[in-house]
Amino acid sequence: MNSTALPAVPPDDLHAAVMSALAQVDDPEMGENLVDLGVVGEVRIDGSAVAVTLIPTSATCPMADVMVDDAQTAVQRACPPGTTVDVRMDWDTEWSPERLAPALRERFGW
């Protein structure tokens, strides 16, 4: 084993770290975190690559680029060095209030 090689992070631990990072990112318009808003569509981990899809709350979400950039930065910081992170917006999946965390759904009256 090469002495400079980094130990592998178990996928479950990395997934938890990614979700924790995304929970620290607020939607710039709603002021709530991406996880509770239910905009995290998928987190895929393949070796040292992490792919995250976000679902916009509207088809014309004006802050989509900011959300992607903020999520990209947060996830990259949460991952081990050398991890490739790709965060993208999934414009084909429709967001609905059912995706909200129960406490937010109740607070928003949905």
Q: What is the pLDDT of residues 78-102, one digit of tens each?
A: 999 999 999 999 999 999 999 999 9
Q: Is 58 inside a domain boundary?
A: yes
User: Would you place residue 17 in the very low, low, confident or very high pLDDT band (cuts 50, 70, 90)?
Assistant: very high
* Contact (CB, 8 A) for 18 and 80: no
Q: What is the pLDDT of residues 21-69, one digit of tens each?
A: 999 999 998 899 999 999 999 999 998 899 999 999 988 888 999 999 9
Alpha carbon distance 50, 31 (integer Å): 25
| pLDDT at res. 11 | 62
Q: Is 48 inside a domain boundary?
A: yes
Q: Nearest-CA neighbor of 45 among 83, 5, 88, 78?
A: 83
Q: Is 102 inside a domain boundary?
A: no
Neighbours of 38 (CB within 10 A): 19
Q: Is the pLDDT of residue 6 over 90?
A: no
* Contact (CB, 8 A) for 42 and 103: no
Alpha carbon distance 48, 34 (integer Å): 23
Q: Is 4 inside a domain boundary?
A: no
| pLDDT at res. 53 | 98
* Contact (CB, 8 A) for 55 and 39: yes
Q: Is 5 inside a domain boundary?
A: no
- Tally of structural domains, the chain: 1
Which CATH number do you get for residue 70? 3.30.300.130
Domain that holds residue 64: 11-92
Tell me, what amino acid is at 8?
Answer: A
Tell me, what amino acid is at 69?
Answer: D
Q: Is 2 inside a domain boundary?
A: no
